[in-house]
Amino acid sequence: MIVATIPAHNEARFLEEAVRVLLKETIALDNDYRIVIAEDGSTDGSDRIAEGLAKSNPHIIHIHADKKLGRGLALKNAWKRVGGDVYVFVDCDLATNMKYYPQLVGAIMGGYDLATGSRYVNGAIVRRPPIRYFVSRMYNLMVRAAFGTGVCDHQLGFKAFSGRLVRDLLDRCDSADWFWDTEIIVRSVRKGYRWIEFPVEWEEKRGTRTPLKRLMKDIYVHGKGFLSLGIERGWT
75 and 5 in contact (C-beta within 8 Å)?
yes
166-214 pLDDT, tens digit per residue, is 999 999 998 878 789 999 999 999 999 999 999 999 999 876 555 556 5
DSSP, collapsed to helix, strand or coil, labels residue 5 as strand
Number of domains composing the chain: 1
Give domain status of residue 150, yes or no. yes
The CA distance from 155 to 190, in Å, is 17
At 236 the pLDDT is 40
**For position 38, which CATH number holds?**
3.90.550.10
Q: What's the Rg (C-alpha) of the chain?
A: 17
Mean pLDDT of the chain: 90
Q: Please name the residues in contact with 57: beta carbons below 8 A apart, sequence gap of 6 or more.
A: 23, 35
**What's the domain range around 89?**
2-231
Q: What is the 3-state secondary structure (H, E, C) of 33-95?
A: EEEEEEEECCCCCHHHHHHHHHHHCCCEEEEEECCCCCHHHHHHHHHCCCCCCEEEEECCCCC
Active-site position among 91, 177, 181, 218: 181
**Rounded to 5 degrees, what are φ and ψ at 52?**
-65, -40
Percent of the chain with pLDDT strictly greater than 70: 87
Q: Residue range 89-116: average pLDDT?
A: 98
Give domain status of residue 219, yes or no. yes
18 and 93 in contact (C-beta within 8 Å)?
yes
Residue 225 is given by DSSP the state: H
Give domain status of residue 165, yes or no. yes
Band of pLDDT at residue 223, cut at 50, 70 and 90: low
Give domain status of residue 52, yes or no. yes
Band of pLDDT at residue 234, cut at 50, 70 and 90: very low
- Residue in 127, 151, 140, 131 with CA at minimum distance from that of residue 205: 127
In this prediction the pTM is 0.89
Give domain status of residue 222, yes or no. yes
pLDDT value at 231 more than 90: no
181 is known as an active-site residue: yes
Give domain status of residue 95, yes or no. yes
Q: Residue range 54-74: average pLDDT?
A: 94
Q: Residue range 70-76: average pLDDT?
A: 93
Q: Which of 26-30, 40-44, 126-130, 221-225 has the least mean pLDDT? A: 221-225
At 217 the pLDDT is 58
Give domain status of residue 236, yes or no. no
Give domain status of residue 224, yes or no. yes
DSSP, collapsed to helix, strand or coil, labels residue 112 as coil
At 26 the pLDDT is 97
Let me know how many helices (H) and strands (E) the chain has, helices first.
8, 9
pLDDT value at 43 more than 90: yes
